[in-house]
Amino acid sequence: MPGFYKSKGITLTYFEFLNEHGITLLLGTVTTVKVLVCSMILYVIISMIFGLMRLSKNSIIQGTATVYIEFFRGTSLLVQLFWAYYVLPFFGISLEAFTAGVVALGLNFGAYGAEIVRAGILAVPKGQWEAAHSLNFTPAKRIKRIIIPQIFPIILPPAANLTVELLKATALVALVTVVDLTFEAKQINSITWLSAQCFGTALLIYYIMARFALVPFLRWLEVLAARKVGKEKA
């Protein structure tokens, strides 16, 4: 450990470290990306369904959505993950670690996303509904051509924040034995005890993923959505 302080030693050790364990960390990163993409798809679908259910006039449908949202927003993600992985087998439902992780992430973030979707739909001016109605658009066409294109520019900025939170939250699946970046970092740490290198590299990889891949992608979506309704965005 004292070698750590030597100015030359630190770069040398770090390159050696990357040489030895870089591939493992990258493989972990691939799993993290897989978890992220799967749970992203799941959470987007869930938030749309439950966001719409929240606005239903039927009190049973609305109540179900409210209970779902309150439940998943009221408890900790880690508790939900462990519940999905360790407790569900008690009820005869054994999920693989990856599936349990994705399902828990999707359900948790779906609850937050549903609120965003609900707020987005409510933010579309009432006049737009009325205008579409008075122009005799069919209900399907009204939603598809008038309302949905206007919802996206409203919900995408908060949804982008939520998605970055999702990337950070994927780290938790390591705790239910999914072999992702966090898991690999922990593993390497327990073998080599080069904690600064392990966790420092992991932090950097998460940062690069968020800052230079996920956020630009989400900004691009925002620009796309804004352009679609004729609001140019710089």
Which CB atom, from 174 or from 225, has the smaller least distance to other proteins?
Answer: 174
Contact, 23 vs 205, CB < 8 A?
no
Task: Report in angstroms how near the CB of residue 215 gets to other proteins at its nearest.
Answer: 8
Contact, 207 vs 200, CB < 8 A?
no
Task: Report in angstroms how near the CB of residue 210 gets to other proteins at its nearest.
Answer: 4
Which CB atom, from 79 or from 229, has the smaller least distance to other proteins?
Answer: 79
Which CB atom, from 32 or from 150, has the smaller least distance to other proteins?
Answer: 32
Task: Report in angstroms how near the CB of residue 160 gets to other proteins at its nearest.
Answer: 12
Helix (H, G, I), strand (E, B) or coil at 96: coil
Measured in whole angstroms, how far is the alpha carbon of residue 45 from the centre of its chain?
12
Binding footprint of other proteins on the chain (CB under 8 A): 1, 4, 70-71, 73-80, 82-83, 86-87, 90, 164, 167-172, 174-175, 182, 185-186, 189, 195-196, 199-200, 202-203, 206-207, 210-211, 215
DSSP 8-state assignment for residue 67:
H
Measured N-to-C along each axis, helices 181-192 and 7-54 cross at an angle, to the nearest 10 degrees, of: 150
Contacts 24+ apart (CB under 8 A), 58-66: 65/114
CB atoms within 10 A of CB 80: 20
Measured in whole angstroms, how far is the alpha carbon of residue 213 from the centre of its chain?
14
Which CB atom, from 34 or from 146, has the smaller least distance to other proteins?
Answer: 34
Which CB atom, from 128 or from 192, has the smaller least distance to other proteins?
Answer: 192
Task: Report in angstroms how near the CB of residue 146 gets to other proteins at its nearest.
Answer: 28
Task: Report in angstroms how near the CB of residue 151 gets to other proteins at its nearest.
Answer: 22
